[in-house]
Structure 1
Amino acid sequence: LIAIVLCTLLGITTEFVAYRPLRGAASPLAVLITAIGVSYLLENVALLIFGADIKSFTSVVKWEGITLFDGQLKIQGVTIVTIVVSIVILIVLQLFINKTKQGQAMLAASEDKGAAALMGINVNRTIMLTFAIGSALAAIAGALLCSAYPSLSPYTGAMPGIKAFVAAVLGGIGSIPGAMIGGLVLGIVEILSKTYISSQLSDAIVFGILVIVLLVKPTGILGKKYLEKV
């Protein structure tokens, strides 16, 4: 709970300090470069505070899990909890986006910030709320990740963060169910690659599939095409 609160405050602060001044930037590339810079800044600040040593992490899930087929198959409790929590978050986010004024404001601001502002939407506050929600969810994901793999370092979230972005692109940017489906597909592909092909090549296979999907269906699994009038 403390991590969720602190990450939410950190996300709001990051948005205010690093992203808001660039909102009117001519090129989207400036925001992308800032995102990369902020990620390295956070990693190195954590490195200075906590050191580079890998620390053990006490799982937040105390349930051992279930055993099936006379002990031949055991599903860890943290795995079941992670799936259930993901489904609950998916449903809550979908309801929030589609049924609340703030959710509709997020959709409008993501489509066209200028038009949203003309309709009376406070774009800065809406984007800040988006950062707050995303940062809180990142804290939940981090706690579950470190519960499944009980070690923690300043670089723990680097590769999972990249794979989360890949999952969002794979499922379809802007689609919450698509992001979850993309994450599941990504996880299944990675595990099967490690089991039957090579643990060293699993990441390359995952990113290779992303390239293929973007070539065949650039909008992702559940993404939609938008026509832009010029």
Structure 2
Amino acid sequence: MTFEVFMQQLANGISIGSLYALLAIGYTMVYGILRLINFAHGDIFMMSAYFMVFGMVTFGLPWYVSAAIVIVAAVALGVLIEKAAYKSLRDAPRMSIMISAIGVSFLLENLATYLFTGVPKGFPDIDILTRAISFGNVSLSVATVVTPVVTIILLFVVLFITNKTKIGMAMRAVSKDFETARLMGININRVISTTFVIGSALAAVGAILWGSKYPSVIPLMGVMPGLKCFIAAVLGGIGNTTGAVLGGFILGMSEIMLVSFLPSLTGYRDAIAFIILIIVLIVKPTGLLGEKVTDKV
């Protein structure tokens, strides 16, 4: 492998890892507060991609206007899911909420198939993201370069919200002890809705950047990225925002570099993520930056 090829693959690994990290933040924030794996998160990502297609292709809106509408629509969808599928089950057994999350995921996938058909739709070309730039003999798209920067910026925004604001303090209180926070007068519904707002907005940004790199939109496009982002959250320590981003970068780099050095394993690229998950659960179940949590009975 030449130096140019290595740098090309390194950049690709960092870029795809950044996309995993964006979605993993949403997973880990919801889990940190509700102790719920929001399996519908990957499908919010999928619906955001469709929203972008219709905004730019069907209605002919500029990409920046479409992007703003997509983020608002994704936030509205995330809050609607929380109110309709999770709020009434807040005091139900954990398994009931998980079954509801899986049901919402299947609902969105089948609804997208019914409304948009299973025929792939081309993601609209956003020239500012798809144009190529060169660093010596290494040629990269702007999206590949921009994605890690956007991810790091959004990570700091999320950390600022959770560590420096009143709603962030409430989030941390709820994540530590749900019932005590409720008794202390914290508006649980507002905290949970805010969490879904942040997670859904990040999923929308991730969908826009993902579509610029992989311009094919189908109803099941959120399934595998969603699972991988869940794995990234577990790898970094689910419930830990910084850990989720770290896990996303590690997962993306592992995938790309392994198939680059061992091309014969290209067909097993998706399996690599699950192998990493198994190893992490065996060696360090709490993840790289996670803390041991004891469930209350």
1:228 to partner: Cα distance: 7.4
Supply the distance in 2 between the matched residues of 1:113 and 1:122 (Cα, whole angstroms): 11
Q: Which residue of 2 aligns with 1:136?
A: 201
Decide whether aligned partners of structure 1 residues 226 and 31 sit closer, same or farther in structure 2, where only a CA change above 3 A counts.
closer
Distance in 2, matches of 1:205 and 1:186, equals 9
- Structure 1 residue aligned with 2:285: 218
Aligned to 1:115: 180
Gaps of 5+ in 1: none
How far apart are residue 193 of structure 1 and its match? Answer: 2.9
Runs of 4+ that moved beyond 3 A: 226-230
**Aligned pair count?**
227
1:100-127 C-alpha deviation (Å, 9 max, x unpaired): 1101111111222110011110111110
Is 1:147 aligned to 2:212, yes or no? yes
Higher helix share: 2
- 1:115 and 1:124 map into 2 onto residues whose CA distance is 14
Counterparts of 1:52 and 1:205, CA distance in 2 = 27
Partner SS, residue 174 of structure 1: coil
Write the distance in 1 (CA, Å) between the matches of 2:296 and 2:115.
Answer: 50
Of 188-197 and 166-175, deviating more is 188-197
Give the one of 116, 139, 153 matched to 1:88. 153
| Cα displacement (A) at 1:194 | 2.4
Contact 1:59 1:148 in 2 (8 A): no
User: For 1:18-167, what aligned pairs fall within 5 Å after superposition?
Assistant: 18-25=85-92, 27-60=93-126, 62-63=128-129, 64-69=131-136, 71=137, 73-167=138-232
Taking CA–CA contacts closer than 8 Å with sequence separation of 6 or more, which of the two structures ends up with the larger relative contact order? 2
CA 1:159 to 1:61, structure 2 compared with 1: closer, same or farther past 3 Å? farther
Equivalent position of 2:244 in the other structure: 179
Give the letter aligned to residue 44 of structure 1.
N
CA contact (8 A) 1:61 1:77 kept: no
User: Equivalent residue of 1:199, what SS?
Assistant: helix
Structure 1 residues 114 and 179: CA distance shift in structure 2, 3 A: same
**CA RMSD, Structure 1 to Structure 2 (Å):** 1.7
- CA shift for structure 1 position 224: 2.0
Conserved? CA contact 1:61–1:147, under 8 Å? no
Percent identity over the alignment? 48
> Once the 2 structures are TM-superposed, how far is the Cα of residue 185 of structure 1 from its aligned partner?
0.6
List per-residue Cα deviations over 1:60-105 (Å, max 9, x = no partner).
4514243123x2x122210111111100100000010000110111
Aligned residue runs from structure 1 range 8-23, under 5 A: 8-23=75-90
Question: What's the CA shift for 1:165?
Answer: 0.7
Query: Is the 8 Å Cα contact of residues 61 and 78 (structure 1) preserved in structure 2?
Result: no
Residue 66 of structure 1 aligns to a residue in which SS?
Answer: strand
TM-score (norm 1): 0.93
1:209 aligns with 2:273: no
Aligned-partner Cα distance in 1 for 2:175–2:78: 18
